[in-house]
Amino acid sequence: MMLTPRSTASHSQFKISAMSDDERKLEPLPAAWSLNLAEWRAQIAAWGAPAYRATQIWQGLYKQLAESWEALPVLPAALRQALATQFDVAVLSLREMQDAPDGVRKLLCACRDGELIESVLIPAEERFTLCISSQAGCAFGCVFCASGAAGLARNLSAGEIVGQVVLASRWLRAQQAGRTDAQSTTTPLGRPQNIVVMGMGEPLANYDALLQALRIINAPDGINVGARHITISTCGVVPGIQRLADEGLQFELSVSLHAPNDALRNRLMPVNKRWPLQELLATCRDYTEKTGRIVTFEYTLVAGLNDQPVHARELADRLGGWKCRVNLIPLSPVAEFDGAAPDGRVCEAFQHAMEAARINTTQRRSRGRQVDAACGQLRLRRHQEADRT
């Protein structure tokens, strides 16, 4: 990423007149969360400050989870002032939080331009998984997904992706502060242990910002979520999977399949017309060969549509002969799609048919329905309310 000093940007050859103070206010500051440590070091060097200041900034942002530059008195006042004029430490703010009885919490965050994005915090014993968004809205239009119902608003910046983890970490830290029981001392405080990019948007359609953000989330001495605890979920953007295979990273890859043949997948996921199953599955095989990582296929079960034994057999045939996993998800009901989750026995029969064909298959417990946990629902509802008023 290139850092352009703001003074240079405002003197670019395309700007003939000097910016007024009002115009300057309209130009957003880059997010502090969008820089990796090497970029902080370069910035600090450009300012002529000692190199260890970059580490202090990094730890201030990701260990202390500082809400402002003033909250970091370890930095000299002049440096704090320079930082405050050039880097925004609040490109996201927590707008609303919804709780479900099973402990799942949905965070609705507001961007500087008023866009709303969602993340979902899912507890499992003493650990937390955070499901984050990569875009505001989505362009891919899978029929049962609320995120795509209003189309794509825009890509999120790297800082807005990292910011979701920082806001959730702040909330966790506040919750966990003061805990003295044995388990809380063995669990790292104040951050999620797993990150899944399964919220709003298609992560591989926002590739550069996504990778920049995940590297920051993964970096040691910062948030430090291990690469194998970070999952990218895609609807099947083949060039993105190919690019990811060549990065030499250890992130987990999930691919949303939802159908065992092109005719059905075309109906559920328009992306299949661009990259059909055969091409997608061949790319996934290459991914496993190149990275040694096993791909997980997500399969949302919809009653009467893709949940029959014949579908399971067809899916098993397609996936047989190489190492992969299938994760079954009963449909979360959404207003935009006229469909229901199958009966529990139907889901189990599907799983047994897959296992009989020796395909490693799990079933995801559908949690957080009470908080509209299917992607994009809360944002969509708030946008609809805003339109009505």
What is the number of other CB atoms lying within 10 angstroms of the CB of residue 78?
A: 10
* 157 binds ligand SAH, rule: CB under 6 A: no
Nearer Cβ to ligand SAH (155/233): 233
Out of 43, 194, 218, 256, point to the residue binding ligand SAH (CB under 6 A).
256
Site string for ligand SAH, 119-148 (x = CB under 6 A): -----------------------x-xx---
Instruction: Choose the catalytic residue: 118, 160, 252, 298.
Output: 118
* 373 binds ligand SAH, rule: CB under 6 A: no
Out of 233, 272, 283, 306, point to the residue binding ligand SAH (CB under 6 A).
233
**Sequence-distant (≥ 6) Cβ neighbours of residue 377 within 8 angstroms:** 146, 334
Q: How far apart are the first and last CA of the chain?
A: 40
Q: Is 243 left (phi over 0), alpha (psi -120 to 50) or beta?
A: alpha
* 79 binds ligand SAH, rule: CB under 6 A: no
Q: Which of 306, 262, 294 is nearest to 280 (CA)?
A: 262
Binding segment toward ligand SAH, per CB under 6 A, in 76-84, 106-114, 306-314, 326-334: 326-334
**Sequence-distant (≥ 6) Cβ neighbours of residue 46 within 8 angstroms:** 5
Q: Which of 195, 167, 28, 62 is nearest to 108 (CA)?
A: 167
* 83 binds ligand SAH, rule: CB under 6 A: no
Please check whether residue 109 is in contact with residue 117, taking contact to mean a CB–CB distance below 8 angstroms.
Answer: yes
Q: Judge whether 375 counts as a catalytic residue.
A: yes
Minimum CB separation of residue 356 from ligand SAH in Å reads 24
Element (H, E) at 301: strand 295-301
Nearer Cβ to ligand SAH (167/196): 196
**Sequence-distant (≥ 6) Cβ neighbours of residue 243 within 8 angstroms:** 204, 207
Nearer Cβ to ligand SAH (41/106): 106
Nearer Cβ to ligand SAH (145/223): 145
Residue numbers at the binding site for ligand SAH (CB under 6 A) = 142, 144-145, 198, 202, 233-235, 256, 298, 300, 329, 331-332, 334, 374-375
Give the catalytic positions in this structure: 118, 375
